[in-house]
Amino acid sequence: MAEQEQNRTEQATPFKLEEARKQGQVAKSLDFNTLVMIWGLLGLGVIFGPSAWQQLGALSRDLFASSADLSLESIGNLGWMSALLRAFLGIMGPIVAVAAVLAILANVVQTGPIFTFVPLKPKGERVNPVAGFKRVFNKKMLFEAFKSLLKLGILGAIAVTFFSALWPQLSAAQSPDTAAVQSWFAGNAVTLIFRLGLALVLIGLLDFMYTRHKFKNDMMMSRREMKEEVKRREGDPLIRAKLRELQRENLKQSASVKRVPEADVLITNPDHLAIALRYERGSMAAPIMLAKGADSWAAEMRATARRHGIPIYQRKPLARLLFRSGQLGQPIPSDSFLDVARIYAELDAKQRGLAEYEVRG
């Protein structure tokens, strides 16, 4: 059985994927999130970077220009610090807000909107040192460590190659013109970030595809798991068969109750059972059972009989016999002939002169 559980050859069903989603288990690449955030911030830097740089420069100049007048001795004289903090947040606030929005969008693009607290619920295994040791030293964590080292190696190689090529040009930064030096450093910084960003594009897309492939494989199911899932969703096959049988019986019962207006007589228990009979002299050897019902069906049959003026006879032993042995659409059992014949004889007598249609006995 364990071998069968490991033989996962079937694709995950939509039900299993939805259940995993409710548990917070989705295919999500952190490198893809980093890719989106880096390039989003690069775009923001290209658009608003110069103005933000100028604002920071002006803030620094003002701070240095008034440094002689600034007081650090009294709390009441520290208003300049709150003003400095507000100015700094005014510059950095939009950057932080854009980074947060990009992080949310990157997750939504990968997984769609998910709202669940299941991953946050406390679990005993999380504080179990043995389980924690197994989580740290397993194949998955070793592979993730290898991925991190590989990414670090790729980005490091790009940075080393860039600085090696830039090293002979450092003499260009030796200039009394601070604007030129600033422009030189800014240009090379943008070039380095752009190259690292291209590497992150490759890393992020590969990790995105790998994460989805791995999640698809992790969600695969064995045939036994698929059968168990069907049982969880639809119930045990024996129970389903019983329910289908009851449904067929209810449909058959409903159809038979609709034939009560065609009956000659209704025999009751008096409250729990009801049997509708019809007899055509000359064309039938014995009365046939048009309908039978118990409890709520019997109550409905009695109400229908009263609405259509069908005589109701209360015969407990006969009603039980007919309900137990009689078949819908078939002649009544032979051992009930005598009692039914008496009812029809009584019915015939009443139709000739009596006005009482319901006889209690």
| Residues forming beta bridges with residue 275, ordered by sequence position | 267, 292
Domain of 261: which CATH number? 3.40.1690.10
| Residues forming beta bridges with residue 288, ordered by sequence position | 278, 331
Indicate whether 138 and 281 sit together in one domain.
no
Q: Are 19 and 225 in contact (CB under 8 A)?
A: no
Q: What is the pLDDT of residues 46-104, one digit of tens each?
A: 777 777 777 777 777 777 776 666 655 555 555 667 777 777 777 778 878 888 888 88
Biggest CA–CA distance in the chain, Å, is 133
Q: What whole-number distance in Å separates Cα of residue 99 and Cα of residue 357? A: 86
- Could you say which of 169, 197, 231 is where a domain stops? 231
Q: What whole-number distance in Å separates Cα of residue 200 and Cα of residue 106? A: 14
Indicate whether 143 and 219 sit together in one domain.
yes
Indicate whether 196 and 270 sit together in one domain.
no
Indicate whether 178 and 292 sit together in one domain.
no
pLDDT (0 to 100) of residue 84:
73
- Print pLDDT tens along the chain (361 aa): 444 445 777 788 777 878 777 777 777 788 888 888 888 877 877 777 777 777 777 777 777 776 666 655 555 555 667 777 777 777 778 878 888 888 888 888 787 777 666 666 666 555 566 555 565 566 777 777 888 888 889 889 988 998 888 887 777 666 666 667 777 777 788 788 888 888 888 888 888 888 888 888 888 888 888 877 777 776 666 777 777 877 777 777 777 778 888 898 999 988 889 999 999 888 888 999 988 888 888 888 999 999 988 999 999 999 999 988 888 888 999 889 998 988 888 888 877 765 444 444 4
Q: What is the pTM of this model?
A: 0.48
Q: Are 242 and 286 in contact (CB under 8 A)?
A: no
> Does residue 247 lie in a domain region?
no
Indicate whether 127 and 266 sit together in one domain.
no
> Does residue 245 lie in a domain region?
no
pLDDT (0 to 100) of residue 107:
80
User: Which residue is listed with tokens 């990968």?
Assistant: 110
Q: What whole-number distance in Å separates Cα of residue 1 and Cα of residue 321? A: 51
Domain of residue 279 covers 256-359
Indicate whether 208 and 277 sit together in one domain.
no
Domain total in the chain: 2
DSSP states along 173-234: G--S-HHHHHHHHHHHHHHHHHHHHHHHHHHHHHHHHHHHHHHHHHT-B-HHHHHHHHHHHH
Indicate whether 181 and 275 sit together in one domain.
no
- Closest listed residue to residue 94, CA positions, set 43, 30, 131: 43
Go through 145-160 and write b for each residue having 16 or more CB atoms within 10 A of its CB, e for each that does not.
eeeeeebeeeeeeeee
Q: Are 258 and 270 in contact (CB under 8 A)?
A: no
Percent of residues in the chain assigned helix, strand, coil, to nearest 5: 70, 5, 20
Indicate whether 184 and 137 sit together in one domain.
yes
Q: Are 278 and 288 in contact (CB under 8 A)?
A: yes
